[in-house]
């Protein structure tokens, strides 16, 4: 598996990361290096092995569940403390036009 | 008769599938301990998890999982004992994490079905493709400021069930009936309150058209439709638009659209490029969700009676199909009816609830959850009819007084002297007077005009202010006229 410049540009756009065109070739090379390294995993024979998800093999103990109780919230000031902009109790962002 | 829309070049069939987002009833959110109550102060029900702060870990709410399982069971669907959460990545101001935790490849509930009833009395089964759990986003307010949008994250992280139907609906009516039935089932199960005004239930409507007999053509998705009526309107408007596109030689493009309620048309959402490239991947914060089959069985055993079963039971009790339908539409109505019918004649109870009570609710613009006459009082009134303390006719007068005063029926009957007269000598006296006053009619009756009997009954009842026992009045009159 490998990526080309167009794919890298697209991924960057989706992730809202700006990459100047001049920086693209190096990024393509680096990403392909990483992909090639991960490719090594293909050498492992996984015939008959159940796929894993979230680090636990299929059939392993589940996600821990909590009881349905209100234990959090009521901290609007703390939530808003780091907001770049706010209006009263709201976060304020540049107007989103649909 | 199948539904088609007549285009300029011939008839077109409509194909509809619905994705319904239903807010799960729970005290706290899907992955955080913040509250879910509607209408709280902005950002007052937000934890650091819901606000997407770094380093926070989600922990799933057991009750939300139980609600999804109950809903799956109510939709007669397969429960997947192994499911998994994925991240759905997109950027929007009210999605602080930059992704929504959802279930993509392995939903908690698989295939099921819902039976709908149409206005011509026919029934149809609509397939359910899947149900999965996901987080809701926050709320954006765009109209509060000239250059800014305001964000309230109270809804962020609240549990939603996304219920996806098969493209099995073929008309606006079927789409509307499906949404209404789904809402009814969820409300019976107590898994979603179904308040569409508050956004607890919203539908994305997938519409395509085709020539009869053809395979599927390209569909468009009409987003966030929030009532049964609007779903029906949106289906028709979007189908007509697509027919026009096809017939003018164009091609329908797959896209996301909005239903403009005021103008009754759908319009394209200024769709951002790549909007559908969500790059799903398994959420590394969350191991798979594995359910204990015994727990699922427990949930199944504690499931309440569903509307279809309840309706069948009412019909078996002797109710008409219509009464059974009307009484089971809302769970609250059914509960009221059952309290009235408990230990009494179910048909009489149904008549009073669907007749006098519904009329009163309409007239007074009140809801069954806030009835002007309690189920206990209405039941007591039926007892007074059953033990012949009052006649059915007087009962209607008593009911009116109950509406006005809220008094108990027995007290009304006592205080106003409405008790039925069962003393045959009193009835005989009244009857004798009536016959004496209408000697001409008595002669006609005896000459063979038997229809006059009803007239005499009416006159005697009138003379007794309606309090004569009808059976005794009949008996006495037959004796006197015989």
> How close is the nearest chain B Cα to the Cα of A47, in Å?
21
Chain position carrying tokens 């069930």: B161
Closest CA to B16 of B219, B303, B198: B219
Question: What integer pLDDT is reported at residue B473 of this predicted model?
Answer: 85
What pLDDT does B464 receive? 83
In tens, the pLDDT along B76-101 reads 999 999 999 999 999 899 999 999 99
In chain B, what residues touch A74 (CB-CB under 8 Å)? 44-45
Query: Hunting for tokens 């349905």 — which residue is that?
Result: A68
Average pLDDT estimate for B197-214 = 94
Set of chain B residues whose Cβ sits within 8 Å of the Cβ of A64? 59-60
Number of domains in chain A: 1
Chain B contacts of A10, Cβ < 8 Å? 274
In a domain, A38, yes or no: yes
CA–CA separation, B76 and B111 (whole Å): 8
Rounded Cα distance, B231 and B129, in Å: 19
- CB atoms B269 and A90 under 8 Å: no
Nearest by Cα to B427 from B457, B455, B453, B454: B457
* pLDDT digit string, tens, across residues B30-50: 999 999 999 899 999 999 999
Residue numbers of the domain that contains A25 = 1-43
State the burial class of residue B280 (Cβ atoms within 10 Å of its Cβ: 0-12, 13-18, 19+). Answer: middle
Asked if B26 lies within 8 A of A92 by C-beta distance, the reply is no
**Domain containing A38 — which CATH number?**
1.10.20
Q: Which of B27-36, B221-230, B417-426 has the lowest mean pLDDT?
A: B417-426
Pairing of strands B289-290, B82-83: antiparallel
Q: What contacts A19, CB < 8 A, 6 or more positions away?
A: A8, A9, A12, A27
CA distances in angstroms from B424 to B190, B390, B420, B482, listed in the order given? 54, 15, 11, 17
- Strand ranges, E, within chain A: 52-53, 56-57, 65-66, 86-87, 90-94
Q: Is B25 on the interface with A (CB under 8 A)?
A: no
pLDDT in tens, B107-162: 999 999 999 999 888 999 999 999 999 999 999 999 999 999 999 999 999 999 99
Residue A14 lies in a domain: yes
Angle at B48 between CA B45 and CA B53, to 5 degrees: 140
Interface confidence, given as ipTM, is 0.87
At B461 the pLDDT is 85
For residue A71, being part of any structural domain is answered with: no
Tokens representing residue B277 in the block: 């490239």
Closest Cα in chain A, distance from residue B366 (Å):
33
- Structural domain contains residue A87: no
User: Domains (ranges, CATH) in chain B?
Assistant: 5-295 (no CATH), 305-415 (no CATH), 424-481 (1.10.10)
A29 to chain B, minimum CA–CA distance in Å? Answer: 22
Quick check: B273 pLDDT over 60?
no
**pLDDT(A13) > 80:** yes
Task: For residue B276, count other CB atoms closer than 10 A to its CB.
Answer: 11
For residues B175 and B168, what is the distance between their CA atoms, to the nearest angstrom?
9
Amino acid A57: pLDDT: 57
Strand ranges for B346-473 from DSSP E: none
**Strand, coil or helix: B461:** helix
Band of the pLDDT at A55, cuts 50, 70, 90?
A: low
- For residue A54, the model assigns a pLDDT of 60
Minimal C-alpha gap between B290 and chain A (Å): 5
User: In 3D, which of B137, B248, B239, B183 has the Cα closest to residue B22?
Assistant: B183
For A56-69, write each residue's pLDDT tens digit: 555 566 789 999 99
Closest by CA position to B168, among listed B133, B208, B221: B208
- Do β-strands B123-135 and B112-117 pair in parallel, antiparallel, or remain unpaired? antiparallel
Q: Which of B447, B424, B440 is nearest to B456 (CA)?
A: B440
What pLDDT score does B192 carry? 97
pLDDT at res. B305: 94
Q: How many Å apart are CA B170 and CA B175, to the nearest integer?
A: 8
CA distance B194 to A91: 29
Rounded CA separation B355/B129 (Å): 40
Which residue in the set B62, B140, B274 is minimally distant from A66, CB to CB? Answer: B62
pLDDT higher than threshold 70 for residue A98 = no
CB contact under 8 Å between A65 and B27, yes or no, is no
Question: Which of A62, A87, A94 lies nearest to residue B287, judging by beta carbons?
Answer: A62
β-strand partners of B258: B223, B267
Tally the C-alpha atoms within 13 A of residue B437's C-alpha that lie toward its C-beta: 11
Contact A73 B148 (CB under 8 A): no
B134 within 8 A of B158, measured Cβ to Cβ: no
Considering the domain boundaries, does residue A23 fall inside one? yes
Query: What pLDDT score was predicted for residue A86?
Result: 96
Nearest of B30, B269, B38 to residue B152 by alpha carbon: B38
Top residue of B24, B26, B28 to mutate, by most chain A CBs within 10 Å, is B28
User: Is the residue at A31 inside a domain?
Assistant: yes
User: Is A59 part of a structural domain of the chain?
Assistant: no
What percent of chain B clears pLDDT 90, i.e. is strictly above it? 74
Chain B residues close to A96, C-beta within 8 Å:
92-93, 140, 142, 149
| Other Cβ atoms within 10 Å of B366 Cβ, number | 12
Q: What number of H helices and E strands is found in chain A?
A: 3, 5
- CB contact at 8 A, B209 and B14: yes
**Residue at A4 is within a domain:** yes
Chain A residues with CB under 8 Å of B35 CB are 70, 73
Structure tokens at B271: 């769709």
């Amino acid at each position: 598996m490998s990526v080309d410049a167009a794919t890298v540009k697209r991924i960057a756009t989706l992730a809202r990361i700006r990459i100047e065109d001049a920086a693209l070739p190096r990024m393509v090379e680096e990403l392909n290096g990483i992909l090639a390294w991960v490719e090594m995993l293909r050498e492992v024979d996984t015939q008959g092995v159940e796929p894993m998800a979230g680090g636990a093999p299929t059939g392993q103990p589940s996600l821990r569940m909590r009881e349905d109780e209100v234990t959090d919230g009521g901290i609007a000031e703390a939530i808003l403390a780091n907001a770049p902009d706010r209006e009263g109790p709201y976060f304020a962002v540049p107007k989103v036009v649909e | 008769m199948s539904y088609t829309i007549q285009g300029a070049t011939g008839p077109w069939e409509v194909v509809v599938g619905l994705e319904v987002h239903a807010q799960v009833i729970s005290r706290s959110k899907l992955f955080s301990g913040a509250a879910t109550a509607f209408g709280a102060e902005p950002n007052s029900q937000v934890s650091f998890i819901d606000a997407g702060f770094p380093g926070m870990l989600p922990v799933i709410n057991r009750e939300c999982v139980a609600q999804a399982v109950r809903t799956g069971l109510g939709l007669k669907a397969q429960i997947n004992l192994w499911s998994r959460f994925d991240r759905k990545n997109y950027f929007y101001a009210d999605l602080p994490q930059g992704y929504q935790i959802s279930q993509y490849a392995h939903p908690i509930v698989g295939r099921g079905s819902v039976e709908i009833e149409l206005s011509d009395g026919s029934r149809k089964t609509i397939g359910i493709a899947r149900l999965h759990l996901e987080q809701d986003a926050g709320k954006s307010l765009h109209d509060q400021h000239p250059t800014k949008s305001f964000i309230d994250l109270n809804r962020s992280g609240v549990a939603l069930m996304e219920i996806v139907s098969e493209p099995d609906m073929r008309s606006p009516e079927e789409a509307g009936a499906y949404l209404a039935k789904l809402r009814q089932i969820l409300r019976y199960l107590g898994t979603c309150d179904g308040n569409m005004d508050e956004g607890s239930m919203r539908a994305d409507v997938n519409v395509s058209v085709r020539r009869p007999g053809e395979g599927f053509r390209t569909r468009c998705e009409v987003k966030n439709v929030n009532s049964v009526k609007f779903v029906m309107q949106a289906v028709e408007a979007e189908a007509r638009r697509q027919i026009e596109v096809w017939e003018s030689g164009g091609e329908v493009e797959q896209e996301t659209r909005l239903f403009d309620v005021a103008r009754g048309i759908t319009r394209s959402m200024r769709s951002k490029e790549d909007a559908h490239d969500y790059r799903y991947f398994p959420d590394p914060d969350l191991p798979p969700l594995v359910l204990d089959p015994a727990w699922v069985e427990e949930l199944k055993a504690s499931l309440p009676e569903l509307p279809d079963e309840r309706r069948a039971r009412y019909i078996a009790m002797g109710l008409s199909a219509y009464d059974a339908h009307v009484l089971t539409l809302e769970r609250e109505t059914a509960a009221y009816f059952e309290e009235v019918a408990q230990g009494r004649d179910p048909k009489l109870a149904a008549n009073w609830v669907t007749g006098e009570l519904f009329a009163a609710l309409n007239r007074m613009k009140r809801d069954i959850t806030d009835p002007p006459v309690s189920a206990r009082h209405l039941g007591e009134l039926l007892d007074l009819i059953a033990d012949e303390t009052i006649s059915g006719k007087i009962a209607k007068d008593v009911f009116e007084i109950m509406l006005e005063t809220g008094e108990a029926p027995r007290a009304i009957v006592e205080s106003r002297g409405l008790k039925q007269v069962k003393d045959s000598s009193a009835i005989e006296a009244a009857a004798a007077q009536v016959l004496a006053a209408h000697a001409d009619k008595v002669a006609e009756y005896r000459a063979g005009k038997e229809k006059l009997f009803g007239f005499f009954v009416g006159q005697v009842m009138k003379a007794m202010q309606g309090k004569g026992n009808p059976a005794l009045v009949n008996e006495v009159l037959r004796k006197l006229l015989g």
